[in-house]
Amino acid sequence: MTMQQFVLGACAFFVAFVFEHLPMPDLLMWLQPQWVMLAITLLVLNAPRVYGLWLAVPAGLMMDTETGAYLGLHVITFSFHIFLVQLFIRRLDGFNLLQQMLMVLILALAHQLALFWVSQMMEAYPKPIDIWGPALTSALVWPWVYAITQLTIRRILS
């Protein structure tokens, strides 16, 4: 991993956790996008050889601490997510933004579903309907997140 890639990863997580921690009104809480999941997707897409499954460990531990979940919960769901992104990486690269949005929606839904199952196994009882809100908003913000980060990365590298 080069210094640039390390800084890029650290910045992506910093921004993602800032957004994750932003105070939101009660009514909109269930619509909060999965910022950390989007950051992971971007990093894996940009440098798949550097950012692999290992990324799930630090990101998952930080997310567990942020949300007060049992340590390891998000490590499992993020590793599942990274596995899926790596599986579809070539298709994602070739897609236009609308197709990418649909793909992100599917990936976010899969991530939410994994979170839902693991939470149920840990005797927490979330409602199945709640997996849709964050997945939909994550797909909606994806084009902006993708465009901004691609521009930034190009500017840094040029």
Partner 1 sequence: MLVICLLAAGLMWVDQNYTVFQSLRYVVGYVLYPAQQVALLPSTVAGWMESSTASRQQLMDENVQLRARNLVLEQKAQRLASLETENIELRELLSASEQIDDRVLVTSVTAVDPDPYSKQILINKGGEDGVFLGQPVLDAFGLLGQVVDVLPHSSRVLMIADSNHAIPVQVNRNGVRAIAAGTGALDRIELIYVPNTADIQLGDLLVSSGLGGRYPKGYPVGVVVEVEHQSGEMFARVSAVPSARLDRSRHLLLVFSQGAGQVPSDEIWRYKK
Subset of residues 106 to 135 that bind partner 1, contact rule: CB under 8 A: 122, 124-127, 130
Query: Least distance from C-beta 151 to partner 1, angstroms?
Result: 22
Residue 24 touching partner 1 (CB under 8 A): yes
CA separation for the pair 18, 59 (Å, rounded): 14
Q: Does 49 bind partner 1 (CB under 8 A)?
A: no
Minimum separation from the CB atom of position 57 to partner 1 (A)? 7
The one-letter amino acid at 29: M
Q: Which is nearer to partner 1, 68 or 94 (CB)?
A: 68
Supply 149's token pair: 């980060």
* Residue nearer to partner 1 on the CB measure, 5 or 32: 32
Given candidates 5, 46, 72, 132, which one binds partner 1 under the rule CB under 8 A? 72
Q: With binding defined as CB under 8 A, does residue 14 bind partner 1?
A: yes
| Closest to 48 measured CA to CA, from 93, 104, 101 | 93
Closest CA to 35 of 3, 70, 74: 74
End-to-end CA distance of the chain: 19
Q: Is 79 in the site for partner 1 (CB under 8 A)?
A: yes
Contact criterion met (CB below 8 Å) for 108 and 130:
no
CA-CA distance, 32 to 75, in Å (whole number)? Answer: 20
Residues that bind partner 1 (CB under 8 A): 14, 17-24, 26, 29-30, 32, 53-54, 56-57, 60-62, 64-68, 70-73, 75-76, 79-80, 83, 122, 124-127, 130
